[in-house]
Chain A
Amino acid sequence: MQYFDTGKYQVLFVLVMVAFILINIFRAQNKDIFIRRIAGLNAIEDAVGRATEMGKPVLMVPGLGALNAISVQALNIFAHITRTAARFASPIRLCCGEAAVFAVAQEVIRDVYQSEGVPERMDGDSVRFVSDRQFAFAAGVSGIMLREQTAATFFMGEFFAESLIFAETANSIGAIQVASSTENTQTPFFIAACDYVLIGEEFYAASAYLTRKPVLVGSLVGQDWGKMLIASLILFGIGLESSQRKGWVEQMESDPAAKTSMMRLFSPEPPDPATKPVRQKHPEEGEAQ
C-alpha cells in the first residue's frame, strides 16, 4: 500500500534545489562568498597570451548542441576569452555548428568588443557558421585549424564523435588545447588528447571563477548544497537498501534491478492489481453497479 504519492518527491526535490540556488544567489549579493580556484582556468590566460606572442589566432568551438543552457554557458566562457584576446589584440575564430548558437555568438562577441571600447578590432568574419552536419563541421573546423595554424584552441560545450578529430588535429599543429564537455562519453577522448580538461560541472563553474559575479558565485554555492543533498540521499538510499536486503532477500532477488528503494523513491510503480485487498461491497451500492 502506498500512503503517499512518492512521485511528488521528484517535484519536491527539484524545488529544494531551486531554493538552494536562489537562497545562495541572494546571500552572495550581500556577502563575499569564498570559492576555490580551479588551476586549469589559469591556462586560459596563458593560452591566449601565447597566441598573442605568436601572432596567431585563438580558436573557440561551442560544440554541436542546440541553443541551450550548455551552449550559452560555453558562450559565457568564450566572452571572457574574447575579452582577454581583445585586450591583447589577438585575432579570434569562433566556429558554430548550429545556426541559433551562431546568431547569439555574433551578438555576444560584438558586445564584448564594444564594452572593451575596441569595436574596430572586431573582424566581421571571426564568428563563423560552418555547417550543421556533424562531420562536415568537423572537416571544416579542422581545415580552419590547419590553414590558420591556430595557437590556442578552446573546445567547450556539447561534443560528440568529432571531439577527437578536433583534439588530435590541434595536437598535430602544436596548439594549446583547453577542452570541456558535459558529455561523459567524450571527456575521455579530450583527456587523452588535450592539455587541459574541465571535467563535468567544472564547465558550469568556470564562469563563476572567471568573473566572480555574485549571481554566479552564489549559484555555484547553491549547486554545492544541491550536491550535498544528493550525496546524503544516496547515503539514505544505501541505508534503505541494506535494511531491505536484510528483510526481504527473496523478494529482492525476483527483480533486483527494478525494485530498489531508490528506484521506487524516484519512479513510483503503479499499484499492482494483485495486491488489491478483497473488499466487501456495500449491499445497496453493489446492486447499483
Chain B
Amino acid sequence: MATPQKVPGSLNIPREALFAALFVVCSVLVFVSIELPNRVSNNSADLYKVLKGIDKTKPVILQSDWTKSTRGESGAQFDALVRILIRERVKIALMSGADPQAPEVAREAIRRIAVETEKVTGQPYKQWEDWVFIGFFPGIEASLQSFSSNLRNALSANKDSDTAGVKRSVMESPVFNGINRIEDISAYIIVTASKTSRIAIERLSGKVTMLGLVTGVMGPETYNYYQSGQLSGLAIGLKGAYDMESMMAYGLNTPDGEGVIKVSNAKVTDPIEGYTGEQYVNLANGQKYIVPLHGAIILLITAIVLGNIETIRQRRRRNG
C-alpha cells in the first residue's frame, strides 16, 4: 500500500513553467545534430550478437506492434533492426497483434529500407520472395497459442499478394520454404510499445530464440525475461536504438582503421563487425532523438534537485 502525501504548496515552480521549459529544450535539441558518446548496454550487445549470428537459411517472424505514437523509440529501433536483417539477407515474416494501424507502419518502413539497401548492395529485397506479411491478429493470445501448436495450420488461411499480384496463402511464399513448425524459424522478434512481448514469451518461450525491442516504459518489466534467459537479446527505448545504431556504425569490440575500439561491451567480448561501408545508413533517428532525451533527463534531474532544495529550506524555516 503506497500513500504518497501531497506536500501543501510544494509545487513552487508553476506547472506551466516546467512544461514550457521541457517544450523549449526538446524542440531546440531535436535540431542539434551531434554524435554523443555512448556505452552499449549488455542487453543491446546480446541482441546485436544474436542478430549478426542468425541462421540466414530460415526466416524470422517479426511481430511489429508499434504505431506512429511511439515512433520516436520503436520507429528508430525497428529501422535499425530491419536494416540489419535486410543487409544480412534474412527473410522476414511480418505480423502485428496490437493495433490495426501497426501493419501499415511496419510495411512502409520495410519497403523504404529495402529501397535504401538496394541502392548500396544492388540486391532488391522483394515482398513475397524475401518478406511477406502474414497478418494482423486481434486475438494475439489465441493466435500465438495456435502458432505454437502448429504454425502451418495457423497460417495457411492467411493471404498476401505474390509478385504477380495474386492473393495466395502465405505458407506458399518462398519465405516459408521448409517451415512447418514454430521451432523451424530462426528467431521470433517482437517490436512493441505494449505488453504483447509478454504474451509472446508466455506462448512461445522455449520453442524458438526470442528477441525483444521495447519502449523505455516497458523496459523494466521486459528486462525480467532477458535476465531469465527467455529473451536472448533486448533493446530498451531510445537508448537501445542508439546502441544498435552505434554497433552498426562502428562494430562491437572491433578496432577501426587507427586501431581504436569505439564501441565495446563488458559482457559480449567477441569482436562483431559493423556495417562500415560508407554508403550505409547507420546512425539515424536513434542518434537524432538521443540529444533531446539527454536534454529532457537533465531538465528532469534539475527540477527534482530544485524541488528538494525548496523542501529542505521549508523544513529549516519550520524548525528554526
Direct contact of A and B (CB under 8 A): yes
Interface residues of A (CB under 8 A from B): 38-40, 134-135, 160-161, 183-185, 191-192, 194-199, 202, 257-258, 260, 263, 267
Which partner residue on chain A sits nearest B138 by CB separation?
Answer: A66
| C-alpha spacing A257/B233, complex, angstroms | 12
Query: A161 touching B221 by the CB < 8 A rule?
Result: no
Query: B4 touching A192 by the CB < 8 A rule?
Result: yes
| C-alpha spacing A39/B2, complex, angstroms | 10
The 6 A-B pairs with the shortest beta carbon distances in the complex, nearest first, are A257-B229, A258-B229, A267-B206, A40-B1, A197-B2, A191-B2
| Residues of B with C-beta under 8 A to A257 | 227-229
Given A257-B227, A267-B206, A185-B4 contact (CB < 8 Å) = no
| Residues of A with C-beta under 8 A to B193 | 161
Query: A199 touching B2 by the CB < 8 A rule?
Result: yes
Query: B221 touching A191 by the CB < 8 A rule?
Result: no
Using an 8 Å CB-CB cutoff, how does the interface string of B52-83 with A read, 1 for contact, 0 for none?
Answer: 00000000000000000100000000000000
- Indicate whether B167 reaches chain A with its CB closer than 8 angstroms: no
| C-alpha spacing A194/B69, complex, angstroms | 25
Give the residue of A40, A263, A267 whose beta carbon is less than 8 angstroms from that of B3.
A40
| C-alpha spacing A186/B134, complex, angstroms | 31
Which partner residue on chain B sits nearest A194 by CB separation?
Answer: B4
| C-alpha spacing A267/B220, complex, angstroms | 22
| Residues of A with C-beta under 8 A to B220 | 184-185
Given A135-B69, A183-B195, A185-B220, A196-B229 contact (CB < 8 Å) = no
Which partner residue on chain A sits nearest B218 by CB separation?
Answer: A185
| C-alpha spacing A160/B194, complex, angstroms | 7
Give the residue of B194, B221, B229 whose beta carbon is less than 8 angstroms from that of A263.
B229
| Residues of B with C-beta under 8 A to A192 | 4
- Indicate whether B265 reaches chain A with its CB closer than 8 angstroms: no
Q: List 10 A-B contacts (CB under 8 A).
A: A160-B194, A184-B220, A184-B221, A185-B195, A185-B217, A194-B4, A198-B1, A199-B2, A257-B228, A263-B228
- Indicate whether B205 reaches chain A with its CB closer than 8 angstroms: yes
Query: B3 touching A195 by the CB < 8 A rule?
Result: yes
Interface residues of B (CB under 8 A from A): 1-4, 6, 69, 193-195, 205-206, 217-218, 220-221, 227-230
| Residues of B with C-beta under 8 A to A260 | 229
| C-alpha spacing A260/B228, complex, angstroms | 9
| C-alpha spacing A196/B2, complex, angstroms | 6
| C-alpha spacing A184/B198, complex, angstroms | 12
Most B-side CB within 10 Å, residue of A185, A194, A195, A198: A185
| C-alpha spacing A260/B230, complex, angstroms | 12
Give the residue of A134, A161, A196 whose beta carbon is less than 8 angstroms from that of B217.
A161
**A160-B195, A197-B2 given; 9 more Cβ-contact pairs under 8 Å:** A39-B1, A39-B3, A160-B194, A185-B220, A195-B4, A196-B3, A197-B1, A202-B1, A267-B205
| Residues of B with C-beta under 8 A to A184 | 220-221
| C-alpha spacing A14/B169, complex, angstroms | 38
| Residues of A with C-beta under 8 A to B217 | 161, 185
| Residues of A with C-beta under 8 A to B195 | 160, 183, 185
Which partner residue on chain B sits nearest A164 by CB separation?
Answer: B217
Which partner residue on chain B sits nearest A160 by CB separation?
Answer: B194
Minimum Cβ distance to chain A for residue B200 (Å):
15
| Residues of B with C-beta under 8 A to A39 | 1, 3
| C-alpha spacing A161/B228, complex, angstroms | 26
| C-alpha spacing A192/B69, complex, angstroms | 23
| C-alpha spacing A14/B195, complex, angstroms | 23
Minimum Cβ distance to chain B for residue A83 (Å):
23
| C-alpha spacing A265/B1, complex, angstroms | 33
| Residues of B with C-beta under 8 A to A160 | 194-195
| Residues of A with C-beta under 8 A to B228 | 257, 263
Query: A185 touching B1 by the CB < 8 A rule?
Result: no
| Residues of A with C-beta under 8 A to B194 | 160
| Residues of A with C-beta under 8 A to B6 | 195
| Residues of A with C-beta under 8 A to B229 | 257-258, 260, 263
| C-alpha spacing A40/B3, complex, angstroms | 8
Minimum Cβ distance to chain A for residue B109 (Å):
21
Which partner residue on chain B sits nearest A163 by CB separation?
Answer: B217
| Residues of A with C-beta under 8 A to B206 | 267
Minimum Cβ distance to chain B for residue A100 (Å):
12
| C-alpha spacing A243/B228, complex, angstroms | 19
| Residues of A with C-beta under 8 A to B227 | 257
Minimum Cβ distance to chain A for residue B41 (Å):
15
Minimum Cβ distance to chain A for residue B301 (Å):
15
Give the residue of B4, B69, B205, B230 whose beta carbon is less than 8 angstroms from that of A191.
B4
Minimum Cβ distance to chain B for residue A186 (Å):
8
| C-alpha spacing A199/B217, complex, angstroms | 18
| C-alpha spacing A195/B220, complex, angstroms | 24
| Residues of B with C-beta under 8 A to A267 | 205-206, 230
Minimum Cβ distance to chain A for residue B198 (Å):
10
| Residues of A with C-beta under 8 A to B205 | 267
Minimum Cβ distance to chain B for residue A36 (Å):
11
| C-alpha spacing A161/B74, complex, angstroms | 14
Which partner residue on chain B sits nearest A38 by CB separation?
Answer: B1
Minimum Cβ distance to chain B for residue A221 (Å):
19
